[in-house]
Amino acid sequence: MQIQSIFIQKFYSTAIVLFLFSLLEYRYIANLYVLLGLGHFGITYLYQFYSGKITEKYILWHTVLMLFFFLLAFLYLRDVQFTTALLGLTAIYFLVHFIIDENYLFGRTITPQFAANVAPVFFLYIGFVLLEITTKDFFPNIFFILGIGSFFLYMFLALLGKVPFYRVETYFFLMGFILMTSLAIGIYLPLVVLFGSIVLFHYMSWYIFYFMKVKDRAHERTRYIKNVFVVNAIFITLYFLFTSNAFYGVSIFGFFFAPTYFYLWTILHLVFSTRVAEYKSFFGRLRSFF
């Protein structure tokens, strides 16, 4: 797929996310990414089924991990510290997933050079996450220093022509620049906004990317549009049943929409949508790089 097409898709995704943010108060952003997130997970499972990836082994490991996670959630459901720590873990894990997926959508493989390119985004983002989930300034500040240092180092090497600075590299450089600018002028982005923005952007990017992929194949296009609407309609309906239930957190729907459970569904999605071959290839390149 042409790089211009990818950037157009990113423009559409960004426009949709900014539009949604302009309509909602901060407290509703979390509700939105929970609601749309389950639809995204559902579509992923559906297309994994279509492609034959949901094997007996897949079902076994998914069931074991799901039971373990949900037992953990049941034991610590009302523990605020557990939920906060789980949010931090989910937010950081999701960033890794997001970065690798964005690289994949650009038609690239993971390389040590790419890892160096995204280091500023990675460190600065973790700094913002830790700033909200911990009371100590030491740990966020360490990551802010690493983020700022890696940002200027990468920029210096790029100007010398030592590292690539085009296409996907520029894309992540701009993301790092936005995070560093917000830090420099003292705008500490709330985690719900920071996490919510990349989560919603990720959802939109995949919906648009896959639509562009099948838009010229009538049967696949029709099936895809129908699946997206049906799956999301199911979860929207369940969400309204959940929010109208007086027994918040006790209702069966709480196993989908309550924050603790949603973070665990997110981790399951991240684990079972990992392209293992890419990681193996990356670590192989990393060994040869050193």
Asked if pLDDT for residue 165 goes beyond 50, the answer is: yes
Please state, in angstroms and rounded to a whole number, the distance separating the CA atoms of residues 27 and 25: 6
- The per-residue pLDDT for range 34-49, each reduced to its tens digit, is 888 899 999 999 999 9
- The per-residue pLDDT for range 82-100, each reduced to its tens digit, is 888 888 888 888 888 888 8
Question: For position 249, what pLDDT does the model report?
Answer: 47
**In b/e form, how buried is each residue of 258-280, taking b as 16+ CB within 10 angstroms?**
bbbbbbbbbbbbbebeeeeeeee
Angle at 279 between CA 203 and CA 44, to 5 degrees: 30
Asked if pLDDT for residue 128 goes beyond 80, the answer is: yes
201 contact partners, CB below 8 Å, separation of at least 6: 13, 14, 17, 98
Residues 135-140 have a mean pLDDT of 77
Most confident of 126-140, 199-213, 217-231, 247-261: 217-231
Q: At 172, list the tokens.
A: 């992540």
* 20, 37, 224 from 32: Cα distances, Å: 9, 8, 22
Q: What is the pTM of this model?
A: 0.82
232 vs 10, residue with greater confidence: 232
Question: For position 279, what pLDDT does the model report?
Answer: 58
Per DSSP, helices labelled H in the chain are 3-23, 26-50, 56-75, 80-105, 112-133, 138-159, 168-184, 191-214, 218-244, 254-257, 259-272, 276-289
Asked if pLDDT for residue 173 goes beyond 80, the answer is: no
